Every structure is written in structure tokens, then in C-alpha cells.
Amino acid sequence: MIDFAPFGSNYLDVLLSRCGVTLDIVNAVDDKRDDLMTDLVGIITSFAARLYGQRRGKRKTEKIIATLQATDEE
């Protein structure tokens, strides 16, 4: 599921109403704090996964280079 506008939906509502479009909010959250905490955890998880992915890619690259250098020496 994708959050179209986790915050600032009132700005979208004003903009769309000027174009003659109505904005319907589905699954409105009662507790904004829990919703923001969920978004924050998602952002941190995404950045951590990206960081660990870069480290893994660096290790793979170093392993390939070491293998190629070992092959060239033979």
C-alpha cells in the first residue's frame, strides 16, 4: 500500500478543489502520532537497507578484484 499524502493533504484538497476535483481520504488515521512513528520507522529501515546494501556491494567488488588479481598472477 502506498501513502499518497501522509501529511499535507489539506493543501492537495485546496488545489484539487480549484480544479473541480474532490479529494476523498480513505483510512484516515485517528492517532497521528502512531502514523508518524510508522513513517519514521519506514524511513530509517529504508536508509539502513540502502547502507547495508552498499557495504555488501563493496565487499563483492573487493572479492571480484582479488579473484581477478589472483588469476592474473598465475
Task: State how far the alpha carbon of 70 is from the alpha carbons of 57, 59, 61, 63, 67, in Å.
Answer: 20, 16, 14, 10, 5
48: Cα separation from own chain's centroid: 10
Q: How far apart (Å, rounded) are the C-alpha atoms in residues 59 and 40?
A: 29
Q: How far apart (Å, rounded) are the C-alpha atoms in residues 44 and 57?
A: 20
CB 35 within 8 Å of CB 29: yes
**pLDDT 10s per residue in the chain (74 long)?**
445 666 677 888 888 899 998 888 776 666 667 777 877 888 888 888 887 777 777 788 888 888 887 877 66
pLDDT of residue 4: 63
